[in-house]
A and B are shown apart, each in its own frame.
Chain A
Amino acid sequence: MAQIIIKNVRKEFGDFTAVKESSFTIEDGEFFMLLGPSGCGKTTTLRMIAGLELPTSGEIYLDGEEISQKPPGQRDIAFVFQMFALYPHMNVRKNLSYPLVSQGMARRDVKAKVAEVAGILGIESILNKPVGGLSGGDRQRVALGRAIVRDPKAFMMDEPLGALDAEFREHMSEELRALHDRMGATTVYVTHDQLEAMQMGDKIVVMNNAVVEQFGTPQEIYDKPATMFVADFIGSPSMNFLRFDGAVAEGAQTVDMHGQTMGVPRQMEGTTGKLVFGVRPEHVTLSDSGSYRGEVLATEYLGTTQIITLDTPNGELKARVPAGQVATVGEKVGLGFKPEAVTLFDETSGRALRSELNSEVLSHG
């Protein structure tokens, strides 16, 4: 079990830069999510930690030891592949014993260890079956078993649930999280599914275009996005962006948006130009009294809540309101925003402006 420190790691493939100088720390025992759209460099980062790719520059520390140029077999890290990569010409038992045999473990110890791991994962009954005929879930369990059998310092998982169908994913993600909590092993988990990342992760790194956009707990990332990309990528529906030209002064608690005064958290930096008023759908309320108005375009009923799509002077906006609230398509309604939950962005750079809400997060992110 170990802490992993990624320090200024960069990876180039010829002319293509897959990962630009990235730094973050994965604490001992954390369930750590690498989140981002496909092609953002998250898998490359994971593969660099595991040793399947060597970084072009930068350092990776595992348990205080610099490992960035070591071959994967010497890092004591286990890897779970998206397509499982179980050795197809071996049965389940052999797949599980393979990592132990390579370490020269005695036959009897291998047998005992395999039995123990099979017990943890509930796969004792399929030990002698070939892997070819197994169901997706059992394959997943065998792949996990092959990873944990060695008691590695850390686990790398590359979208391990990606190959499973939706129904089973849910179940497997719970199983995975429970397994992690039981073993307390540092786990790095790559996913493009923001919901999965929020549900399972202790910490999340959001990557986009080879850069780390933000690094923090799920709550921080959701409530205090550091960039417009993060605000948009996390949450469903994602954060609303109301675009406007204007200015905001340091210390201000309101902004002027086309003559409407909007409350914001006390700003800690000021700027002028193209600004974006970012607010999550659940922080929007419908009220007849509001002076900022929008026209209802559509409603989506979700059981306890509903999503209302509105047309506003600053673009389309979605609000999550109680299902009981009546909203008729075509009707004009007043809108209210929860001032303390608003984030202002500078549209040109995509960066969040520092405020009372997010200054703590931004300073270390």
Chain B
Amino acid sequence: MSSFSVTEPSKRSKWFAGSLVILYALITMIPLAWIMLTGFKSPADAISYPPKVFFEPTLEGYVNLFTTRTRQTDEFLAANPPETWYEEIVRQYDMVIAGPSKFGERFLNSVIIGFGSTFLSIFLGTLAAYAFSRFKIPLADDLLFFILSTRMMPPIAVAIPIFLMYRQLGLSDTHLGMILLYTAVNISLAVWLLKGFIDEIPREYEEAALIDGYTRFQAFYKVVLPQAATGIASTAIFCLIFAWNEYAFAVLLTSGTAQTAPPFIPTIIGVGGLDWPAVAAGATIFLLPVMIFTVALRKHLLRGITFGAVRK
């Protein structure tokens, strides 16, 4: 015990903590891994019992996800030999590709609505948070509480009023409608989180910029915004994750043009039987943007969570 230290954890507790983290990671990652693996299985492997851990990978699920297929007569099949690798996969079942599926479109909708509402939440949230942090606003505390109170019930509790309102306003099944809705849900989180971050930025920075001849708004975006980047990034991650994964409102309010991926993916089931590999492939692709976004901003996220806990 020559290296005994009060603050430094001992080797044994480090080992113990490490094992716990790995165990927890395994538990949470097994379902994810299973979904990703299922995406590369054939339909038969996907539903085999006992479940197959080792199997011959195929891209069938992905092909089925992105295409619609039809059965054809033997003459047609004989006259039109498959030209590409994905047509060959489909041909095993005596089918041909009729055209692209709607997944690409729905995925794009998710991107537009998810990132659009995240951007809007952050944009409005930053301005509001800055105002709450820096200016004397009458009833500021009450207003902040009011903003927070919009999150005190599950958003879905207001689903029916929103459904009726949206129908009247013509916002049902529109990108704008969904962006506004997700922004409304996220804005309270954004204002509160960002206010905390902006409160931490000393006013002197802006005052220095004001004295250096910049306007209040220039001082805000040239000095405060770069300082708040960490907070903005971590807030953006939280907003995006909510908007990206949201299912209930999406099912209720979208069916066509503005439908996002979450309500679309389950509809794959039923088109051609229980096509689990296609569902799994859809879920895998759906996970990627948030994963990439989170990994890209993870440093900010970690700093964001512990921000302000310790005075520098």
Contact = CB atoms under 8 A, between A and B. Distances in A.
A binds B: yes
Contacts of A51: 210-211
A85 B208 contact: yes
A50 B211 contact: yes
Given A85-B202, A89-B226, A79 B208 contact: yes
Contacts of A71: 210
Contact of B211 (A78, A87, A88, A89): A78
Contact of B223 (A79, A87, A150): A87
Contacts of A89: 226-227
Contacts of B218: 102
B70 interface: no
Given A81-B204, A83-B202, A87-B205, A73 B227 contact: no
B214 A83 contact: no
Most chain B CB within 10 A, of A74, A79, A150, is at A79
Nearest to B205: A85
B204 A99 contact: no
Interface in A86-112: 86-89, 98-99, 102-103
Contacts of B211: 50-52, 72-73, 77-79, 99
Interface residues of B, number: 16
Nearest to B216: A71
Contact of A88 (B210, B215, B227): B227
Interface in A36-94: 50-52, 71-74, 77-79, 81, 83, 85-89
A73 B210 contact: yes
Given A103-B213, A146-B212, 4 more contacts: A52-B207, A71-B210, A72-B211, A102-B212
Q: Shortest 7 CB-CB distances between A and B: which pairs?
A: A85-B204, A102-B213, A99-B212, A73-B213, A85-B208, A89-B226, A81-B204
A87 B211 CA distance: 13
Interface of B: 202, 204-205, 207-215, 218, 223, 226-227
Given A83-B202, A87-B223, A73 B214 contact: yes
A315 B203 CA distance: 47
B226 A81 contact: no
30 contacts: A50-B211, A52-B210, A52-B211, A71-B210, A72-B207, A72-B211, A73-B211, A73-B214, A73-B215, A74-B213, A77-B211, A78-B211, A79-B207, A79-B208, A81-B204, A81-B208, A83-B204, A85-B205, A86-B208, A87-B205, A89-B226, A98-B209, A98-B212, A99-B211, A99-B212, A99-B213, A102-B213, A102-B214, A103-B213, A146-B212
Contacts of B226: 89
Contacts of A78: 211
Contacts of B207: 52, 72, 79, 81, 85
A102 B214 CA distance: 6
B209 to A, nearest CB: 8
A72 B212 CA distance: 8
Interface of A: 50-52, 71-74, 77-79, 81, 83, 85-89, 98-99, 102-103, 146, 150
Nearest to A150: B212
A146 B211 CA distance: 11
Contacts of A86: 208
B207 to A, nearest CB: 5
Nearest to A73: B213
Most chain A CB within 10 A, of B212, B218, B223, is at B212
Nearest to B214: A102
A78 B205 CA distance: 14
Nearest to A90: B226
Nearest to A149: B212
A146 B208 CA distance: 10
A105 to B, nearest CB: 11
Contacts of B210: 51-52, 71-73
B111 to A, nearest CB: 30
Nearest to B229: A89
Contacts of A98: 209, 212
Contacts of A52: 207, 210-211
Contacts of A150: 212
Nearest to A88: B227
Contacts of A74: 213
A71 B214 CA distance: 10
A89 B221 CA distance: 13
A52 B211 CA distance: 8
A85 B209 CA distance: 9
A87 B226 CA distance: 10
A50 B226 CA distance: 25
Contacts of B209: 87, 98
Nearest to A80: B208
Nearest to A14: B136
Contacts of A83: 202, 204
A108 B65 CA distance: 59
B220 to A, nearest CB: 13
A240 to B, nearest CB: 40
A87 B202 contact: no
Nearest to B208: A85
Nearest to B225: A89
A98 B208 CA distance: 10
